[in-house]
C-alpha cells in the first residue's frame, strides 16, 4: 500500500500521491470511526452467536471440511457469507487458547464494548470482528475488520502533508526521500492513535508525530547518538544565526545567541558541536597517507559477519542431521565423544534415557532421584533455606516437604513424584547453580542427571571407555556404535560440515 520512497522514484511518488487530495472533516471522522469498527457476526447457520465459545461449538458441530453460513452486520445492511472450515482445524487446540484467532479472525463480544461504540455500531448483541489475518479462511470468506481499509485511506489522503513537513528539514544531512520515509512512519503511528471524538483534524494531530520521527532520524544518522532536545537546539541556532548576523552586522557571540534562544551559554556551546560532520570511512587520515580509515580501524581478530552466518548455518545443518539420522544411543555417543551439543532444547524423557543407557525405567528414576537428592542438599546448604526458596521459586508446601525428601532412609518409590516436581522447578530457575555442585555425583549420575534436567555437563567430551561403562558395554562395542554413527553422518553431511565437527573421526 505505502511505497517506500527512493531518490530515483521521487517524482513518480509525487505524481502518485497527487491522486489522493486532503479530505473533509466529515469524511475523515467517518474513516476514523470505521478504523475502530468491524463486521459484526449476528448468526451462524441461522442460530444466534453472542460469544466466542458459541462460535467454536457451532464450528465443531459443523465439522472440518464443511461450510458455515454466517450472517454479518456491515454498516446498515445484513450480509450472508460462507466460511469454509479447513480439514486441519482442531477444535481442542482452539479451545485451549481463548486469545487465539478463530479461523483467522479475532472476535470480541459487543456487550463488552463501551456505550459509545455500541451506539456507533447500531447493534447490541453479536461478535465484533476486530482483526482478520490475510489468507485465512475468514479473509477468503470476505469477512472484514474494516481497520486495514479505513486506516490505509487515512494514510493515503495525508501523504501530501508529510511531504510539506519533510521539505522544512532539507539540507540537514538526510535526503528528501529519507525524510519523507521517516515522516510516513510518523503518520502511520499518528493514524493508529488518532481519536476523532476529540474534534481535532488528523493533520493537526499527526504534525507532532511526523516531526518527531523526522528529527529522530536526523539525530540517529550521527555516529554518536544525540538527544532530541540537543538536536532541536542546534536547529534553532542555525535558524537564528543568520537573522542575528544581519541585525548586528557581525557574527553573534555565544551569550547573544543564548539570550535570543532563552538558553544557557553552556547549552548553546554544546549544541554548536552537533553540527560537526562525520568523516567518511573511505577518507584518508592525512594528506600524504596511502591508507583509509577503513584499513586503519578494521578488526582483524574477529570473524566477519559472513563467516559467522556460515558457521551458524553449518551448526544448524549438523544438529538437524544428528537428530534425523542417528538413533538415541548413537546420538548420545557422537555428541559426548566429539563435544557436539545435543540437539534437544529441553530435558530428555525417561523413556529416551532407557534407550540410551540400556537400563530399565525404574533404575533410571532411582539414579535421577539419588542425584537430585545430593544436588538439593548441597544447594540448600550453600544458599540457606530462605535463599533456596527465593531463588528456586519454591512454594511453602515444597519447603515443608523438602526435609522429608532428603532423608536417606526414604524409599525412592514413595518420594519419586514429589522429588521430580521440586527438581523441575529448581532446574528451570537456577540451572547455573546446579552446575557448580555436579562434582558431588559420580560420572554415571552426572550424565543421566544432566540429560534428564537439561543441565550442561562438567566435562565436554568422554572417551570410549567411559562411554562404554555408562552404556553397560565394552569399549569395543562403544567404538562400533561411534563408527556406525559416523558412516551414517558421512552420507548426509556435506564434507566441509563433517570435517569441522568430526575431524577426529576422519
Span 4-21, pLDDT tens digits: 555 567 888 888 888 888
Q: Which residue has the higher pLDDT, 57 or 282?
A: 57
Mean pLDDT of 198-227: 80
3-state helix, strand, coil in the chain (%, to 5): 60, 5, 30
Determine the pLDDT at residue 209.
Answer: 92
pLDDT band at 494 (very low <50, low <70, confident <90, very high): confident
CB atoms within 10 A of CB 308: 11
Domains identified in the chain, total number: 3
User: Do residues 71 and 41 make contact, with C-beta atoms less than 8 angstroms apart?
Assistant: yes
Tell me the C-alpha distance between 492 and 485, whole Å.
Answer: 11
Q: Are residues 318 and 255 in the same domain?
A: no
- Does the pLDDT of residue 261 top 50, yes or no? yes
- How far is the C-alpha of 281 from the C-alpha of 494, rounded, in Å? 38
| Dist CA 104 CA 119 (whole Å) | 27
Q: Are residues 250 and 382 in the same domain?
A: no
Of all residues in the chain, the percent with pLDDT exceeding 90 is 4
Which domain CATH number covers 274? 1.10.10.10
What stretch of H or E contains 174? none
Do 292 and 317 reside in the same domain of the chain? no
Q: What are the tens digits of pLDDT across the range 366-387?
A: 888 888 888 888 888 888 888 8
**Residue 340 falls within a domain, yes or no?**
yes
Instruction: Check pLDDT > 70 for residue 344.
Output: no
- Looking at residue 278, what is its pLDDT? 57
Provide the phi-psi class of 486: left if phi over 0, else alpha when psi is between -120 and 50, else beta: alpha
The H-or-E segment that residue 34 falls in is: helix 25-35
User: How would residue 166 be classed by pLDDT, with cut points 50, 70 and 90?
Assistant: very high
Residue 248 included in any domain: yes
Letter string b/e over residues 110-144, b meaning 16 or more CB atoms within 10 A of that residue's CB? beebeeeebeebeeeebbbbbebeeebbbbebebb
Q: Please, which residues have CB within 8 angstroms of residue 334's CB and are 6 or more apart in sequence?
A: 322, 326, 340, 482, 485, 486, 489, 502
Q: Identify the pLDDT of residue 276.
A: 52
Over the stretch 265-296, which tens digit does the pLDDT of each residue have? 888 888 876 655 556 666 666 666 677 767 77
Report the pLDDT value the prediction gives residue 22, as an integer from 0 to 100. Answer: 85
Residues 399 and 290 in one domain: no
Which of 247, 271, 298 is the last residue in one of the domains? Answer: 298
**Distance separating alpha carbons of residues 262 and 245, to the nearest angstrom:** 17
Closest CA to 190 of 242, 139, 216, 155: 155
- Examine the domain organization and report whether 277 and 318 are in the same domain: no
Q: How confident is the model at residue 30 (pLDDT cuts 50, 70, 90)?
A: confident
pLDDT at 321 over 50: yes
| C-beta separation of 433 from 379 below 8 A | yes
pLDDT at residue number 94: 63
DSSP structure string for 223-238: SS---HHHHHHHHHHH
Verify that 286 and 345 share a domain, yes or no.
Answer: no
Look up the CATH number of the domain holding residue 59: 2.30.42
pLDDT in tens, 120-133: 677 778 888 877 77
> Which of 205, 260, 204, 206 has the alpha carbon at shortest distance from 233?
260
443 with 376, same domain: the answer is yes
pLDDT score recorded for residue 164: 92
- Give the pLDDT confidence of 436-455 residue by residue, as tens digits: 888 888 888 888 888 888 88
Q: In the listed set 298, 332, 350, which residue is the last one of a domain according to the structure? A: 298
As given in the structure block, the three cell numbers for residue 450 are 544432566
CA–CA separation, 147 vs 39, rounded Å?
A: 10
Between CA 3 and CA 451 the distance in angstroms is: 51
Report pLDDT digits (tens) over 81-92: 888 888 777 766
In a domain, 378, yes or no: yes
* Same domain assignment for residues 347 and 490: yes
CB count in 10 Å sphere of residue 471:
19
Residue 1's pLDDT band (cuts 50, 70, 90): very low
Look at residue 195 and tell me if it is in a domain. no
Per-residue pLDDT averaged across 452-473, rounded? Answer: 84
What's the mean pLDDT when you consider all of the chain? 80
Q: How far apart are the first and last CA of the chain?
A: 56
Q: Report the pLDDT value the prediction gives residue 96, as an integer from 0 to 100.
A: 65
Structural domain contains residue 15: no
Place of cell 565394552: 474
Q: What is the pLDDT of residue 59?
A: 80
Pairing between strand 47-48 and 127-132?
A: unpaired
pLDDT-derived band of residue 505, with 50, 70 and 90 as boundaries?
Answer: very low
Q: What is the spatial distance between Cα 488 and Cα 191, in angstroms, rounded to a whole number?
A: 58
Helix axes 176-193, 159-166, angle to 10 degrees: 130
Distance CA 271, CA 168 (A): 20
Spatial distance between the Cα atoms of 308 and 454, rounded to a whole number of angstroms? 26
* pLDDT tops 80 at residue 311: no
Give the position of cell 559416523. Answer: 486
What 3-state class would DSSP assign to 21? coil
Would you state the cell numbers that stand for residue 485, as one nine-digit string?
Answer: 554413527
* Sign of the dihedral through C-alpha 220, 223, 228, 234: negative
Which of 145, 179, 195 is the C-terminal boundary of a domain? 145
Between residues 156 and 192, the one the model is more confident about: 156
Please indicate, yes or no, whether residues 275 and 254 belong to a single structural domain of this protein. yes
- Give the whole-angstrom CA distance, residue 170 versus residue 177: 10
Q: Would you say residue 346 has pLDDT above 60?
A: no
293 with 332, same domain: the answer is: no
Q: Can you tell me the distance from the alpha carbon of 41 to that of 433, in angstroms, rounded to the nearest whole number?
A: 54
Q: For residue 216, is it within any domain?
A: no
Whether 399 contacts 389, CB under 8 Å: yes
Q: Provide mean pLDDT across the span 397-413.
A: 80
Whether 316 is covered by a domain: the verdict is yes
Residue-level pLDDT at 383: 84
pLDDT on residue 506: 45
Check residues 68 and 75 and name the one with the higher pLDDT.
68
Q: What is the pLDDT of residue 281?
A: 65
Q: What is the 8-class DSSP label of residue 43?
A: E
Task: Tell me, yes or no, whether 424 and 491 share the same domain.
Answer: yes
- Give the list of residues 6+ apart from residue 119 with CB closer than 8 angstroms, or none: none
Whether residue 155 is contained in a domain is answered as no
Whether residue 481 is found in the same domain as residue 340: yes
Task: Give the number of other Cβ atoms within 10 Å of residue 385's Cβ.
Answer: 12
Range of the domain at 293: 222-298
The answer, as to whether pTM is greater than 0.85, is no
> Is residue 71 classed as helix, strand or coil in its secondary structure?
strand
Amino acid at each position: 500500500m505505502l511505497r517506500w520512497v527512493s531518490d530515483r522514484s521521487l517524482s513518480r511518488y509525487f505524481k502518485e500521491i497527487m491522486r489522493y487530495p486532503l479530505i473533509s472533516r466529515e469524511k475523515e471522522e467517518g474513516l476514523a470511526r470505521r478504523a475502530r469498527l468491524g463486521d459484526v457476526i449476528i448468526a451462524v447457520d441461522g442460530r444466534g452467536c453472542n460469544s466466542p465459545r458459541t462460535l467454536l461449538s457451532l464450528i465443531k458441530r459443523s465439522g472440518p471440511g464443511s461450510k458455515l453460513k454466517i450472517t454479518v452486520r456491515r454498516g446498515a445492511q445484513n450480509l450472508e457469507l460462507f466460511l469454509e472450515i479447513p480439514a486441519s482445524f482442531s477444535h481442542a487446540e482452539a479451545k485451549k487458547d481463548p486469545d487465539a484467532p478463530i479461523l483467522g479472525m479475532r472476535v470480541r463480544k459487543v456487550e463488552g464494548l463501551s456505550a459509545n461504540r455500541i451506539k456507533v455500531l447500531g447493534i447490541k448483541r453479536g461478535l465484533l470482528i476486530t482483526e482478520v489475518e490475510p489468507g485465512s479462511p475468514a479473509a477468503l470468506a470476505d469477512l472484514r475488520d474494516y481497520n486495514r481499509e479505513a486506516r490505509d485511506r487515512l494514510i493515503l489522503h495525508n501523504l501530501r502533508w508529510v511531504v510539506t513537513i519533510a521539505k522544512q528539514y532539507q539540507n540537514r544531512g538526510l535526503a528528501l526521500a529519507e525524510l519523507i520515509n521517516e515522516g510516513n512512519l510518523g503518520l502511520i503511528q499518528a493514524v493508529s492513535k488518532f481519536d476523532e471524538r476529540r474534534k481535532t483534524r488528523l493533520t493537526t494531530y499527526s504534525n507532532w508525530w511526523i516531526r518527531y520521527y523526522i528529527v529522530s532520524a536526523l539525530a540517529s544518522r550521527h555516529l554518536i547518538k544525540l538527544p532530541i532536545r540537543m538536536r532541536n537546539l542546534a536547529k534553532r541556532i542555525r535558524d537564528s544565526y543568520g537573522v542575528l548576523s544581519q541585525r548586528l552586522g557581525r557574527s553573534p557571540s555565544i551569550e547573544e545567541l543564548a539570550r535570543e534562544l532563552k538558553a544557557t551559554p553552556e547549552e548553546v556551546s554544546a549544541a554548536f558541536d552537533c553540527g560537526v560532520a562525520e568523516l567518511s570511512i573511505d577518507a584518508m587520515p592525512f594528506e600524504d597517507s596511502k591508507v583509509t580509515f577503513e584499513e586503519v580501524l578494521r578488526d582483524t581478530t574477529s570473524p566477519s559477519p559472513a563467516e559467522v552466518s556460515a558457521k551458524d548455518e553449518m551448526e544448524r545443518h549438523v544438529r538437524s542431521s544428528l537428530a534425523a539420522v542417528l538413533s538415541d544411543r548413537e546420538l548420545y555417543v557422537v555428541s559426548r565423544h566429539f563435544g557436539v551439543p545435543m540437539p534437544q532444547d529441553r530435558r530428555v524423557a525417561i523413556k529416551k534415557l532407557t534407550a540410551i543407557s540400556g537400563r530399565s525405567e525404574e533404575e533410571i528414576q532411582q539414579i535421577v532421584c539419588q542425584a537430585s537428592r545430593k544436588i538439593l542438599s548441597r544447594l540448600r546448604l550453600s544458599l540457606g533455606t530462605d535463599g533456596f526458596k527465593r531463588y528456586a521459586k519454591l512454594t511453602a508446601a515444597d519447603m515443608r516437604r523438602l526435609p522429608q525428601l532428603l532423608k536417606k532412609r526414604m524409599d525412592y518409590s514413595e518420594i519419586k513424584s514429589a522429588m521430580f516436581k521440586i527438581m523441575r522447578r529448581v532446574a528451570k530457575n537456577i540451572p547455573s547453580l546446579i552446575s557448580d555442585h555436579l562434582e558431588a555425583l559420580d560420572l554415571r549420575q552426572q550424565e543421566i542427571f544432566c540429560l534428564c534436567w537439561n543441565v550442561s555437563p562438567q566435562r565436554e567430551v568422554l572417551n570410549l571407555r567411559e562411554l562404554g561403562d555408562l552404556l553397560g558395554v565394552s569399549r569395543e562395542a562403544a567404538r562400533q556404535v561411534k563408527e556406525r554413527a559416523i558412516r551414517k553422518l558421512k552420507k548426509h553431511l556435506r564434507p566441509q560440515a563433517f570435517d569441522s565437527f568430526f575431524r577426529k573421526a576422519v
